[in-house]
Amino acid sequence: MQQFYALFKKEFHGYFQSYFALAVVFIYLLISSGIAFYTSYLDMHDTGLYALFNMQIYIQAALIPALTMKLWAEEYKSGTAEFLLTQPLEYCKPVIAKICAAMMFAVFMSLLLLPFIHDSAELITLDWGNIVCDYIGLWLIIFVFCAVGSLISALNKNMISVYLLSLFSTAFLAFIPATHFRAAYTDFLLAEIAVGDWLYFLAVGGVLVFLNILVLQLRASAQKYKMPRFIAFGTMLLGGVAALSFVFYTLFEQKYDATAQKIYTPQQISRDIAKELDKPLRIDVYISKDYATRNIEYSRYYQQVMRFLKKYEKLSNKKIKVSAVTVEPFSQLETVVLKSGLYFEENIYGNKDYFGAIIRNEDGEGVAIRHFLAARSPYLEKDIDTAILKLSRADVMKNIGVYMDPFQYLADFQGLMLNLENDYNLINFTDEIYAISPKLDLLLLINPKELSSEFRAAIDKYIVDGGKVIILFDFLTDNQSSNINIERFSLLNLISSWGINFSGKMVDAAEPAAEYAPSGLPLVIYKAVDFSVKDSARSVTPLITADEQMVGALIQGKFAPLNSVDGTAKNSADAKVAVFGDVDLIADDNWIAEQSPDKNPYDVVFKSSNIEVLRNLIDRMVGNEIYFTLPVRHAQHNTFSISEKIFSRIYNQNAPTYFNLSAELIDARSDIEAGLPQNPDRIEQMLQSGAAGQRISELEIQAENILQKMSRQYKADIQLLFISQVLVVPSLVTFVLFIVMFIIRRKHKKNIREFMNE
């Protein structure tokens, strides 16, 4: 052991004999952080820093040969190899000592990425179990690459030839899929590891170490002419290891989910859905080639989705068949796929980017998951379960009627409507309706202002007959000024009969009921109006509360018709009516991909509890408890990417000022329009001249300046992050290492001088 330690210490210290080690460390950190930053580090939502560790296999494939090329070639060149090999020590000791020294230096460099990881943890949520798996996988490939470099160094005296041959060998392992090297490393990157992954790396590395020892034995015994026989033997041995690795993966294919949220492990309700299938289903996953190869985030997420779907295949006892196809752009298959309903976006190359699935049963019926959005990954399991339920259980498809005020800004509700279409049969209502079928499972009224008397009577009768209604009001005036207008709503008499009293107070902060917003996301409201319910005859469940008042509530019980003489509800059925004091509760909770030129309506990510409250309420009111219990995983997920968080912070800093200016601007316009309602030309003239028009112009300029300031600040923060992560941190780490090396070398020289003086 003492001999091994002496050899290891000599080799490891050899890397720090010159300041070349500093250059290697700096270049390694610069390349690693730079590649991560320029791929998709800023836009990724994963918790394992895939953008940082994904390219490490290729960086190490180029770096390790430079570290190992001198291990034996330098010994041969200086003539110390003969002296070393004739010493009374086992050949395995110098081989393992040299490989361990190279490994320790490479591992030391990899640990210098921790400042980058620490800074990332300040910006996004990290799964530290996944980070540990990343490092384990990285160290295993370092072990194999060092064994490769040491073996080739033992075969050749020329260091340039050694480097080139080692580079070719490591690149072959890293780039050729048949070696299974990249696939095994990816298991560690995604934190879903099999026993076969460990055995593969250890077996390949162990064989290379054994061959290295064999080469030294041949050289020590001067059997140089047996080298062709050695090469043949080594090739056969590596082939045997490859076959053995295949056996490993066959026998030990079960993978362990090492993620904090067990993102590859279906929860119990999903297991039950898969196991209880009566008819077989086929899930065809389609992804564009650009997504699979050029977009690093979707390349990672594609692997996550496929691994998760394979679990369904096993749970269903092969009743679910999963297949995946990477589709070439402008191919005939792409045309067929897109006609099936998958959503796409055009990228900068003019190609269509899409990633979705089509689920079919044996009767030919199909359901499309239009887009697997990476930012929507917490809903992956729920989306798959919902699609399967729609084909396997017809009872979950409830009928929901939707009335939306025709003057409402429809774009804000596009995401909500598309999500409801995925889960229910939607029926569009107008105020020309004079009768509502009692078979309708739910009626959703969005900003019902001036309704016809026939439709109001139909709503009244539907509630008396035991219907279920959700009403969302917008009590602000049409131009969204700060003036609240409650009297304009034609359902006001109906609302009053339920004992609801609106206070007229605007609310910008409230709390959702925990049982209706289980995701734990924040609630986002703006200019909501609170109310109280005074009616002991019916039960009241607060849904959203602000201090002592309510912004949303569910009222259950018997409702008397408006035209009743005594106002009793004895003859009515039990009904459920939910009321929300703001329509923007929906409009503010859907985030639609900003990078999409047409605002991709299927890229809906819920970043607040608003939509959760409404969706869970709908599921409970229509008796669709299974939808409510489907799993959603927010705890270990980055709802916002780094770039989005930076922009959100800047936006929150400037939002109060911007909103105040916007409200003041709206009020100023309202004052002019209220004074001259019948003369549009006069309104335009007032806007272009006079004190009021000048004030409006000043407010518009101030608002535009705030938007430009936010844009400049965002660019500056991104540049500052790049400088700190890619330039400053590697420079500081290298400088600290330089100081340590300088002190150690100075102390070492001092000891030598003292020894020589003695």
* Residue 520 pLDDT > 60: yes
pLDDT at 71: 78
> Does any domain span residue 122?
no
606 lies in the same domain as 513: yes
Pair 273, 388: CB distance under 8 Å: yes
Whether the full predicted model's pTM is greater than 0.75, yes or no, is yes
Left (φ > 0), alpha (ψ -120 to 50) or beta: where does 578 sit?
A: beta
The confidence band for 596, taking pLDDT boundaries of 50, 70 and 90, is very low
Number of folded domains that form the chain:
4
With 90 as the cut, is the pLDDT of residue 30 above it?
yes
Question: 232-236, 262-266, 523-527: which has the minimum mean pLDDT?
Answer: 232-236
Q: b/e string for 234-252 if b means 16 or more Cβ within 10 A?
A: beeeeeebbeebeebbeee
Asked if residue 43 belongs to a domain, the reply is no
**pLDDT score of 600 more than 60:** no
Tokens of 670: 């309202």
Instruction: Say yes or no to pLDDT of 15 above 50.
Output: yes
Residues 165 and 25 grouped into a single domain: yes
Does 224 have pLDDT greater than 60?
A: no
The one-letter amino acid code at 328 reads E
Give first-to-last CA distance, the chain, whole Å. Answer: 31
Q: Where does a domain end: 634, 659, 679?
A: 634
pLDDT of residue 595: 43
> What pLDDT was estimated at residue 268?
92
Query: Which residues neighbour 497 within 8 Å (Cβ) at sequence distance 6 or greater?
Result: 559, 560, 562, 567
Query: Does pLDDT of 414 surpass 80?
Result: no
Lowest mean pLDDT among 212-216, 466-470, 490-494, 689-693: 689-693
pLDDT tops 90 at residue 502: no
Kindly state whether residue 653 falls inside one of the protein's structural domains. Answer: yes
* Residue at 44 is within a domain: no
> How far apart are alpha carbons 97 and 86 in whole angstroms?
17
Digit-coded pLDDT (tens) for 537-549: 789 999 998 887 8
Q: Which of 140-149, 247-256, 369-378, 699-708 has the highest mean pLDDT?
A: 140-149
Q: Which two tokens stand for residue 299?
A: 């390349």
Q: Does one domain contain both 170 and 242? A: yes
Q: Is 124 part of a structural domain of the chain?
A: no
Which one of 356-370, 600-614, 658-672 scores highest in mean pLDDT? 356-370
Percent of the chain exceeding pLDDT 90 equals: 25
Q: Domain range for residue 181?
A: 2-33+57-112+132-256
**Claim to verify: residue 472 and residue 598 sit in the same structural domain:** yes
CATH number of the domain where residue 352 is located: 3.40.30.10
Q: Are residues 152 and 223 in the same domain?
A: yes
CA distance 32 to 681: 63
What CA dihedral angle connects 734, 735, 741 and 744, to 10 degrees? -150
pLDDT at 682 over 60: no
Q: pLDDT per residue over 166-203, tens digit each?
A: 898 899 889 988 888 898 999 999 999 988 888 889 88
Q: Do 336 and 288 reside in the same domain of the chain?
A: yes
Q: Are residue 663 and residue 582 in the same domain, yes or no? A: no
Least reliable range by pLDDT among 73-87, 336-350, 435-449, 628-642: 73-87
> What does the pLDDT read at residue 408?
66
Let me know whether 565 and 458 are in one domain.
yes
Determine what percent of the chain falls in helix, strand and coil, rounding each to the nearest 5: 55, 15, 30
Q: What is the pLDDT of residues 68-109, one digit of tens each?
A: 888 777 776 666 665 556 565 576 788 888 899 999 999 999
**Residue 338 located in a structural domain:** yes
The CATH number for 549's domain is: 3.40.50
Which of 581, 612, 634 finishes a domain?
A: 634
pLDDT grade for 751, boundaries at 50, 70 and 90: confident
452 and 369 share one domain: no
Q: How far is CA 658 from CA 363, 510, 650, 652, in A?
A: 55, 21, 12, 10
Mean pLDDT of 48-73: 90
Q: Give the mean pLDDT of 609-616.
A: 83
| pLDDT at 88 (0 to 100) | 56
Determine the average pLDDT of the residues in 611-618: 86
Summarised one tens digit per residue, pLDDT across range 375-384 is: 778 888 988 9
In whole numbers, what is the pLDDT of the chain averaged over residues? 82
What mean pLDDT comes out for the span 211-219?
79
Going by pLDDT thresholds of 50, 70 and 90, the confidence category of residue 671 is low
Asked, for residue 173, whether it belongs to a domain, the answer is yes
pLDDT band at 469; cut points 50, 70, 90: very high
Q: What is the pLDDT of residues 302-353, one digit of tens each?
A: 999 999 999 999 999 889 999 999 998 888 888 888 888 888 877 777 888 8
Q: Which of 634, 664, 688 is the last residue of a domain?
A: 634
pLDDT tier at 228, thresholds 50, 70, 90: low
**Do 470 and 591 fall into the same domain?**
yes
